[in-house]
Structure 1
Amino acid sequence: MRLRKENILIVDDDIDILELLQRHLKSIDYHTYKAVSVKEALFILKDTQIDLLITDIQMPEIDGLQLLKFTNEHYPEMPKLVVTGFPSVDGALEVFKSGATDYLTKPFTKEELKKAVQKAIEQVAGQRVPKPKSASTKANSYSDMIGESEAFLKVTDIIERVKDNKATVLIKGESGTGKELVARAIHYSGKFSRAPFIAVNCGAIPENLQEAELFGYIKGAFTGANENRNGFFQSAQGGTLFLDEIGTASLAVQTKLLRALQEKEITKVGSRKVEKVDIRIIAATNANLLEEIKNKDFREDLYYRLTVVEIDVPPLRERKSDIPLLVEKFLRKYGVEYKDRLLRISPEALQILERYHWPGNIRELENSIQRSIIMSDGIIDIKDLPDLLKYQIDFPDTGFLPLREMEKEYVKKVLNHTQGNKTKAAEILQIDRKTLRDKLD
């Protein structure tokens, strides 16, 4: 007895064939998803559990063979069935090499389709061996995050422990490390995922408006308050309120936040009526709150209320083994978006990405991949990378040079790379030609 309907993804640029396949499969009790292009199929695969892929081969832009190779690499256990109107021996061999489990030639009957689908699903189900869920397998792709480093697994382990309760969480980490992704993972992977998730950047709200935006206000509370209005706390009722850049909250707002955390109640600006709230607070900061406490810029009692659970999100330089996985994720995302195809990166270019120290963390890596995809003609190579990455200094392994000597070595390296072209060298160094001439003299 089937526990649920299998999800089948059908990919074909012929709308009539797509509709026919969907009608046939629905009539034999399968749940279907349709895609008229590989690009659309990839977005469905990203967000949906698919039990069988049915795809045409000859399609514009990205063809079915590329889709087969991609799914064979990223979804190896998912059966793949090919339907095509252009059968050939060579074509059949290429299809099976690309990972397809069966091959169906157009036109075909409903019964032939039913048998092929059942065979593909049963064949793979028979071969599938249940595997124990190791921490690394589980955490390799978590919500919208990805990684397999020890530092990454520590973060996902804490997420697993807090996702189903409403303990207050403080997420710490440098800018660009993905603190909001961690907050979203806590919310959307737990039992409160159907409730609201409200993200607020405290640093983006003017200090004199923070209290009104967070807690709401009543008509006439201040100039411009022409109606009663709920704040972010009321909007997040029953769910999660994510307060990013919590260190920028004013001391007056910090006092109200402390009461909201202690008493589970708030008061709108201009009102005396107390309102009960049932929300989980997740706060985030890239600042050192302990230093701000010393400087009297942050309340110590609020700090300890916020740190019931603390998550330190590691900078990218401390999880460099995750860089290839992140690069692959961004190549898949932006390759399809910008170039309508799946792109690869050369080993040499990837090595440069792994060597770089990434002061801007994952956000900087993502931006660099986007730029490289736009500049590339196919496989991303060193020439497509931003200049900042291509011309990074390899510091000596033994001893240290004075700053003046290090600058001299770097200028020489850039000139060697540009084959003596001073204009190009000045562009890379981001100085004018006169300054470069002075340094050479």
Structure 2
Amino acid sequence: MQLRKENILVVDDDIHILELLQRHLQSWNYHVYKAISVKEAVEILRNTQIDLLITDLKMPEIGGFELIQFVSENYPEIPKLIVTGFPSVQDSLVAIKSGVVDYLTKPFTKDELMAAVDKSMNSKNELTIPSTNLKQAGKNSYGEIIGNSEKINDVIQIIERVKNNKATIFIKGESGTGKELVARAIHYQGKYARAPFIAVNCGGIPDNLLEAELFGYTKGAFTGADKVRDGFFQAANGGTIFLDEIGNAPKSVQTRLLRVLQEKEVVKVGAQKPEKIDIRIVTATNSNLREMIKNDTFREDLFYRLTVVEIEVAPLRDRKEDIPLLVNKFLYKYGLEYKDRFIKIAPEASKVLERYSWPGNIRELENVIQRAVIMCDRIIEIKHLPDSLKINIDFSSDALVSLKEIEKQHIQKILNATNNNKTKAAKILGITRKTLRQKLDN
């Protein structure tokens, strides 16, 4: 009989179970790899093509469930089979949810093992993919803001109160949370929607140019100023100007901005005569302006003028219930842009997205979906997501293991290498058999 191509990885801290499984599997012409710990199993997975994982659940340090989660996200094509001596209804339910194909209880017969292995090897990971529900996404949007979480609803309630007046509004939040979308909603959901909306990234314009870009300049005001030119404030007259990253504005710009707020007028660079304007000013930053005031890099009087109404946009990690709605939005957007069709996402991939903490917020999520749409055909699966989002097993705690535990681990490795022959192991270790037995019992 020809050897099969399939490689099976068996993980159990009981050497006798490992040897029993190896004998049975080899009798059916499978290639068998053994590991007595999750750490060894991960090393084998990283260096070997494995076709089936058989693992125990109760193991020291890192357990079988953590290994199953690791394999599910990093090697989703590998079917998983549990063999355990401590069965429970709770464990079996968790195992099924984790994508385990079958669940064997020790002791088991050879026929039961064969049936479970055959079932696992023949299993096809048929995905039930939910359709992108665009109608539902529409019910959970406000302008370009997507979400139905309590924190987003709080933001929308404030927008509803300010959208029809020209109170100065300050939006704070981490980078990538959608502060500009909030500013646009304030403008376009209110009665001034037909007036101009001008967005300015104060951090993206050099300090020596920001003043002229914002307020305009006269001919000859500086080198290269060969004509009179209006600035962003004049362009937004009658509507809304959104000054993003206002914390980056130099003191000279802060002083001019204070005059705009107090006098409702602007003065071009190089001019003497002020120009009246009717404008709503919305600002935003991810900087701590109060700290900047203490460090004398931001004007305190300007701060209070800008923060008549404050809106705080929560980070994505604090409103994870909005992630599926945002994912649907980006699937629709990039599916049409790159594939000319709707792209779906597998439930397992969705779970990974909903669990991740998203330090880059919505901008990071959009980037991940954009890349995944490009890499997939019709369905985004776990393999299309970056490794940084997937569960990883951290072995850094090894450095904190006691000397006694390290010694015990070393003894166990020698026993494994000698097929549990205590006499041989004691000789290799340079101790008596009695000392070996004492060290194993302690």
Q: Equivalent residue of 1:210, what SS? A: helix
How far apart are the structure 1 equivalents of 2:278 and 2:304?
20
Residue correspondence of structure 1 range 15-414 to structure 2 within 5 A: 73-75=133-135, 140-392=140-392
Q: Equivalent residue of 1:328, what SS? A: helix
Amino acid at match of 1:211: E
Q: Contact (CA 8 Å) 2:164, 2:192: kept in 1 or not? A: yes
Q: For the structure 1 residues 369 and 75, does the alpha-carbon distance in structure 2 shift closer, same or farther, using more than 3 Å as the test?
A: closer
Q: Which runs of 5+ in 2 are unaligned?
A: 1-129, 402-442
Q: Contact (CA 8 Å) 1:147, 1:322: kept in 2 or not? A: yes
Bigger Rg, which one: 2
RMSD (CA atoms): 2.3
Shift of 1:211: 1.2
Shift of 1:402: 5.5
Q: Contact (CA 8 Å) 1:356, 1:392: kept in 2 or not? A: no
Residues 409-434 of structure 1, C-alpha deviation per residue, up to 9 Å, x if partnerless?
Answer: xxxxxxxxxxxxxxxxxxxxxxxxxx
Amino acid at match of 1:273: K
Q: Contact (CA 8 Å) 2:241, 2:282: kept in 1 or not? A: yes
Q: Contact (CA 8 Å) 1:203, 1:248: kept in 2 or not? A: yes
Amino acid at match of 1:388: S
Q: Contact (CA 8 Å) 1:371, 1:386: kept in 2 or not? A: no
Residues 394-415 of structure 1, C-alpha deviation per residue, up to 9 Å, x if partnerless?
Answer: 89xxxxx859569xxxxxxxxx
Q: For the structure 1 residues 144 and 179, does the alpha-carbon distance in structure 2 shift closer, same or farther, using more than 3 Å as the test?
A: same
Q: Contact (CA 8 Å) 1:139, 1:153: kept in 2 or not? A: no
Shift of 1:377: 2.1
Q: Contact (CA 8 Å) 1:219, 1:226: kept in 2 or not? A: yes
How far apart are the structure 2 equivalents of 1:190 and 1:313?
19
TM-score by length of 1: 0.59
Q: For the structure 1 residues 349 and 222, does the alpha-carbon distance in structure 2 shift closer, same or farther, using more than 3 Å as the test?
A: same
Q: For the structure 1 residues 302 and 220, does the alpha-carbon distance in structure 2 shift closer, same or farther, using more than 3 Å as the test?
A: same
Identity among equivalent positions (%) equals 68
How far apart are the structure 2 equivalents of 1:285 and 1:258?
17
TM-score by length of 2: 0.59
Residues 313-355 of structure 1, C-alpha deviation per residue, up to 9 Å, x if partnerless?
Answer: 0000000010011111111111121111111111111000011
How far apart are the structure 2 equivalents of 1:304 and 1:206?
25
How far apart are the structure 1 equivalents of 2:393 and 2:146?
29
Size of the aligned set, in residue pairs, is 272
How far apart are the structure 2 equivalents of 1:283 and 1:292?
16
Q: Which protein has greater RCO, CA pairs closer than 8 Å, 6+ apart?
A: 2
Q: Equivalent residue of 1:256, what SS? A: helix
Amino acid at match of 1:145: I
